[in-house]
Structure 1
Amino acid sequence: MTTPTTIHFKETDIDAIAALEGRVAVFVAEDGRLDVNARRVNRLTKGALARFSESEAFEKMKASQAMLMSFPAGMEAEALVVVRLDRRPSAELARKAGVEIAKLKGKGALTVLGGNITRAEEISFGIALRDYEFDVYRTENGEARDSEKGEVTVMVNKPEEVARAAAPLAAVAEGVFFTRDLVNEPANVLTTDDFAARLAAMQEIGLDVEILEEDELEKLGMRTLLAVGQGSDSPSKVVVMRWNGGETDDAPFALVGKGVVFDTGGISLKPAGGMEEMTMDMGGAGVVAGVMRTLALRKAKTNVVGLVGLVENMPSARAQRPGDVVKSMKGDTVEVINTDAEGRLVLADVLWYAQERFKPRGMIDLATLTGAVIIGLGHENAGVFANDDDLCKAMLKAAEAEGEGAWRLPLSPAYDKLLKSKIADMRNSCGRPAGSVTAAQFLKRFVKDETPWIHLDIAGVASTPTETAYAPKGATGWGVMALNRLMDEV
């Protein structure tokens, strides 16, 4: 697993600044004023920082933006990372400043002269989130590449206090990295067996983990899930992760994730172009795993159960066909119109199982479910569908607070007519019109009326072609931060 950057908090030492090696981040207020650390740097560099703060280049910088000054005279450091940020920034600006610092930190040591800037823990969190690289398969001259990260030290006036504030954020960073790693892994490595083993290993941090194998899934009647994976040599599984940090008698909140480790489309084969990206079709399960990891690491005082359906959708002589009829655990029958509309078949059984077994106080499922949501919302927002306004408002508020884009889309009985099948209770695909909505409407049939529920279609945000606010291009870990926050509020 890729480990987030280790960040040390240390008492501010003005006298040591001249001898600091590597890169040194220093803050200049938006009006150009220098704090005590910046004034020390300014004296060492014979006024260079003050001249920069009065320059046109500084004027053009936005709040939280950073610029590199290489080989500053009078210091051992190879470069200064100059950040435009007031002493009392918002959490968002502090986090973004950390992201900007991470982009310029290089591979060597980095010292952040935080002094008495508030939100130093958020600056550190931003550094950790952005300083991610999935390079486990890159080599140099055939040998494993050295991916060691330079040490990061944050000099602050109250290091113990900042370290305490940073501890839960470090747990979130680890959950985000866990999710990103899972989404970035190739499918020949992250098989259903390997995925389940990685989740089982989280028993070491306090999660109760249970793996349901195919024979048990068959007894439970999870035929819609099993039908998706029957064409693959990788066995289908459901993994149940429980965090019991709340009161013993409190009902858990349920998180359900789609874990299609590779999606060829099955018999309804996808086009070759871009199919390699379908290693990320287990993104929903990845987010659930990351949230559960975070909750355990920070010892959250709540009860949450995470369930993921792990399958591989492959064409073979055993694969399900368009026109097949399969029966769900609930008892409803589904006509398979398109075997590439497989995620909803996986989720249908896991959603029903979660409610039957755990009687959750609320439930959220996550899935890279439809290409249609990317057409509608691009890579900026996840699609949000809900049967409960209060839960939906809480989710949107949590996503906004964490800077994770989310946008509510409609659910309505008017769309049910599109799900009608000539030979079964419903069909699994309704064509292009309102593709994301009809997929959500399908899932809603497997949610009990008394269960507050949200469906998150994360097809556009789980992995992106360009960098995001907190991540390089590729897997983002979208949803871990928002859901971690939400679990304390529901």
Structure 2
Amino acid sequence: MTLQFSLASAAPETVDTPCVVVGVYEGGVLSSAAARIDSAAEGAIKRQVESGDITGKGGSAHMLFAPAGIGARRVLVMGLGQQKGFDAARYQRVNADAARALGKLPIDGAVSYLTEIDVPGRDAAWRVRTAVLAADHASYRYTATFKPREKSAQPELASVAFAGGADAQPGLDQGIAIAEGVRFARELANLPPNICNPVYIASQAQAFAAASGDAVSCRVLDHEEMEKLGFGSLLAVGRGSVNKPRLIALEYKGGIEGDAPYAFVGKGVTFDSGGISLKPGAGMEEMKFDMGGAASVLGAFVAAVKMGVKTNLVCVVPAVENMPDGESYRPSDVLTSLSGLTIEVLNTDAEGRLILCDALTWTAQTYKPHTLIDAATLTGACVIALGKHATGLMSKHDDLAAELLAAGEATLDRAWRLPLWDDYQTQLESGFADVANIGGKSAGAITAGCFLSRFTEGQRWAHLDIAGTAWDEGRKGLATGRPVPLLAQWLLDRSEK
């Protein structure tokens, strides 16, 4: 069930709701809403603090049922941790923890006053938007390929209202729109590869365009059209699969007619076996997430349309499946890319850059974008370098890198810049083609970015390696929807200029 969000202006002690959510810091310091409820309920919260039942520790949750003197039937008291040092990241976690706790209760709605808590450097709109995104993310459930369950007789959480006035309304609207984009990306990435193949991604893009009015259009190229145009690198990757490649292009005309669009390109390998350079079997099931870049740029496009950003935007997805077969491309093959540059294939498991290079070339030639950004689950090396917390960012444009880093900090969907110096380009030298598709063991994430840079000459371009951030590890790990919030914020910043 998708949560519905709204703003609430009623006082915490009088609001009529199944559950009200407030916070308490360690040491028994009550938030303003908690203090008002405590006063109306004749010290019900302080008594629990004094008894040690409510500790205020971060991540803790304590329920007070039907305290006399207030309008709510329940009070959920969330631990905020130490008041000193309370920051944006902890605020986000508290809201996610609250949503998970609410989801376990037999209630259909709640009102949260956590949005009244002061977060240094953040305004009311940010607090509400962050609370919406945290709650929506925490409440997401993947159900697409499970047997339908019988509807529970107990109520299920359907709506959450957040305390806030008119100054918080933009944050609510943006949060709802970005949450929809994140859900779109997560659902697409979580689907199994026997459902989510290149044709399926194309159908989802077409369906969104058809439902979005005249400002949005969708174009899909099949493998025969791409062959005529010269997509030699992209098509080679998909040769071994019965699921033929598609190139998907969504256009949104939200800005001034004739203005150069911003362009997103997302790697859409719907399953990556490694091809002839076959991956080890352990963990290969996670390679359905290798279209996380495609999912995230499509999610960012959805968010942009829902927010009504005042920009022109293009979203391009090269969608392929990389499988071993008698038709598969091989190590030592030399491919001719759409740009004309030839590529020596040293490893067929370095396929993402081979589909992106043609997609980036086509996007630049077709749309002449103001700025070009790609997102891709590109290298295991980036996971080694940055773990699961930060997206790898590479760009030769300092101003663009600064914009994206700032958008990541604003949304807590953070990135970290890696160098893209020409010193690394020598690792891609080939004796048989203009460039090799891998650069050896060292600096693998950077040399992958260097490879893509050869196909973006003259473009204001940045590369986001999301191999570590696109999904959670393990057999039950789900797609995260990153970097949808970062990209959505970056577009918002451009829209407001």
Question: How big is each residue's C-alpha offset from its partner over 1:183-207, in whole Å with a ceiling of 9 and x where there is no partner?
Answer: 1111011011111100111111242
Pick from 420, 424, 438: which aligns with 1:429? 438
The 1:229/1:163 distance shift into structure 2, 3 A limit, reads same
Q: In the alignment, does 2:187 pair up with 1:184?
A: no
Residue 348 of structure 1 is matched in structure 2 by 357
TM value normalised by structure 2: 0.87
Residue 465 of structure 1 is matched in structure 2 by 473
Pick from 29, 32, 36: which aligns with 1:32? 29
Q: Distance in 1 between matches of 2:115 and 2:176?
A: 21
Pick from 71, 76, 80: which aligns with 2:75? 80
Q: Distance in 1 between matches of 2:418 and 2:177?
A: 31
Q: Distance in 1 between matches of 2:151 and 2:232?
A: 46
Pick from 330, 334, 338: which aligns with 2:347? 338
Question: What SS does the aligned partner of 1:105 have?
Answer: helix
The 1:374/1:113 distance shift into structure 2, 3 A limit, reads closer
Question: How big is each residue's C-alpha offset from its partner over 1:426-474, in whole Å with a ceiling of 9 and x where there is no partner?
Answer: 11123322111111111111012x211111111000002289xxxx952
Q: Distance in 1 between matches of 2:128 and 2:416?
A: 30
The 1:120/1:439 distance shift into structure 2, 3 A limit, reads closer
The 1:10/1:339 distance shift into structure 2, 3 A limit, reads same
Q: Is the Cα contact below 8 Å between 1:374 and 1:460 reproduced in 2?
A: yes
Matches within 5 A, 1:102-121: 102-107=99-104, 108-114=107-113, 117=116, 118=124, 119-121=127-129
The 1:116/1:280 distance shift into structure 2, 3 A limit, reads closer
Matches within 5 A, 1:206-355: 206=213, 207-355=216-364
The 1:81/1:278 distance shift into structure 2, 3 A limit, reads same
Across the two proteins, how many residue pairs are aligned to each other? 472
Per-residue deviation, 1:116: 8.8
Matches within 5 A, 1:146-157: 146=151, 149-154=156-161, 156=163
Residue 485 of structure 2 is matched in structure 1 by 481
Q: Is the Cα contact below 8 Å between 1:171 and 1:297 reproduced in 2?
A: yes
Matches within 5 A, 1:412-451: 412-448=421-457, 450-451=458-459
The 1:341/1:33 distance shift into structure 2, 3 A limit, reads closer
Q: Distance in 1 between matches of 2:56 and 2:24?
A: 14
Q: Distance in 2 between matches of 1:400 and 1:155?
A: 23
Moved more, 343-352 or 146-155: 146-155
The 1:235/1:100 distance shift into structure 2, 3 A limit, reads same
Per-residue deviation, 1:27: 3.7
Per-residue deviation, 1:101: 1.0
Identity of paired residues, percent? 36
Pick from 41, 45, 49: which aligns with 1:49? 45
Per-residue deviation, 1:4: 3.7
Q: Distance in 2 between matches of 1:337 and 1:26?
A: 57
Which amino acid letter does the alignment assign opposite residue 454 of structure 1? A
Q: Distance in 2 between matches of 1:113 and 1:458?
A: 32
Q: Distance in 2 between matches of 1:189 and 1:389?
A: 40
Residue 205 of structure 1 is matched in structure 2 by 212
Contiguous gaps of at least 5 residues in structure 1: none
Residue 12 of structure 1 is matched in structure 2 by 10
Moved more, 47-56 or 329-338: 47-56
Residue 171 of structure 1 is matched in structure 2 by 177
Question: What SS does the aligned partner of 1:489 have?
Answer: helix
Q: Distance in 1 between matches of 2:129 and 2:264?
A: 28
Residue 396 of structure 2 is matched in structure 1 by 387
Q: In the alignment, does 2:55 pair up with 1:67?
A: no
Q: Distance in 1 between matches of 2:150 and 2:232?
A: 44
The 1:40/1:376 distance shift into structure 2, 3 A limit, reads closer
Per-residue deviation, 1:10: 4.2
TM value normalised by structure 1: 0.88
Pick from 101, 104, 117: which aligns with 2:98? 101
RMSD between superposed Cα atoms in Å: 2.8
Which amino acid letter does the alignment assign opposite residue 99 of structure 2? A
Question: What SS does the aligned partner of 1:254 have?
Answer: strand
Q: Is the Cα contact below 8 Å between 1:28 and 1:38 reproduced in 2?
A: no
Per-residue deviation, 1:60: 4.9
